[in-house]
């Protein structure tokens, strides 16, 4: 049996982001489950705003091709995104737009798990259906389970330390459910 590889993406660029902390918990749970983690930091892949003229004149930027290859090599993808003005952060949507172009779509057929954290009272409840819809349109299979954290200051303290004792168990359950579906989908292919 080959080693399973999961790509994880925080949908925030900010170093102290709750979503970076959340994806770090997912990475720990995935590693504990014996999975290879390809932790993507979108700061390392700067992309211009999607522009069909750029694509037509010069093709996809190198960063888009590199991200496409990482996504294609993964057996599944976990995204942890904040909610900006009740929607998908522009930077994350831009990455999705660029990586879905270029004659191949690495999102098609991938199992995707969604998570999100904000300090507000709504968590990411307004953004999640939008992100789920985009992923589904691109041919991904988004698992029904998701993690939506509101009042994130009650999960991590000001120093960035995890203070919610139930969060590791909650993450482990999410990761187990995600990996079960990835395994089933891989079984269907093999």
Q: What averages of pLDDT result for each successive group of 10 residues across the chain (190 residues)? A: 87 94 97 97 96 96 98 98 95 98 95 96 94 98 96 92 95 97 79
Give the chain's radius of gyration (CA, Å). 16
pLDDT at 91: 96
Q: What is the DSSP string of 147-188?
A: EEESSGGGTB-TTS-B--TTHHHHHHHHHHHHHHHHHHHHHH
CATH code of 5-189, in short, is 3.40.50.360
Q: Residue 144's Cα: distance from chain center in Å?
A: 14
User: Measuring CA to CA, which residue among 79, 68, 81 is closest to residue 107?
Assistant: 68
Q: Which long-range contacts (CB under 8 A, 24 or more apart) does 103-106 make?
A: 104/68, 104/72, 105/138, 105/139, 106/68, 106/69, 106/71, 106/72
pLDDT at 3: 83
Q: Domain map of the chain by residue range?
A: 5-189
For 130-158, what is each residue's pLDDT tens digit? 999 999 999 999 999 999 999 999 999 98
For 99-120, what is each residue's pLDDT tens digit? 999 999 999 999 999 999 999 9
pLDDT at 2: 62
pLDDT at 105: 96
How would you write 76-109 as a 3-class SS string?
EEEEECCCECCECCHHHHHHHHHHCCCCCCCCCC
């Amino acid at each position: 049996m080959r080693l399973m590889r999961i790509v994880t993406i925080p949908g925030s660029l900010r170093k102290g982001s709750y979503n970076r902390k959340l994806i770090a918990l997912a990475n720990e749970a995935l590693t504990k489950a014996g999975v290879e983690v390809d932790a993507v930091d979108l700061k390392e892949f700067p992309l211009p705003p999607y522009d069909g003229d750029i694509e037509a004149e010069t093709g996809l930027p190198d960063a888009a091709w590199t991200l496409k290859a990482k996504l294609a090599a993964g057996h599944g993808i976990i995204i942890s995104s904040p909610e900006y003005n009740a929607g998908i952060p522009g930077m994350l949507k831009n990455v999705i737009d660029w990586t879905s172009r270029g004659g191949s779509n690495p999102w098609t057929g991938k199992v995707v798990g969604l998570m999100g954290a904000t300090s507000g009272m709504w968590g990411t409840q307004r953004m999640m259906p939008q992100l789920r819809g985009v992923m589904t349109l691109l041919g991904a299979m988004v698992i029904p389970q998701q993690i939506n954290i509101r009042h994130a200051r009650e999960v991590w303290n000001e120093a960035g330390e995890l203070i919610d004792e139930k969060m590791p168990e909650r993450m482990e359950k999410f990761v187990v459910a995600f990996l079960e579906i990835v395994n089933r989908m891989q079984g269907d292919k093999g």
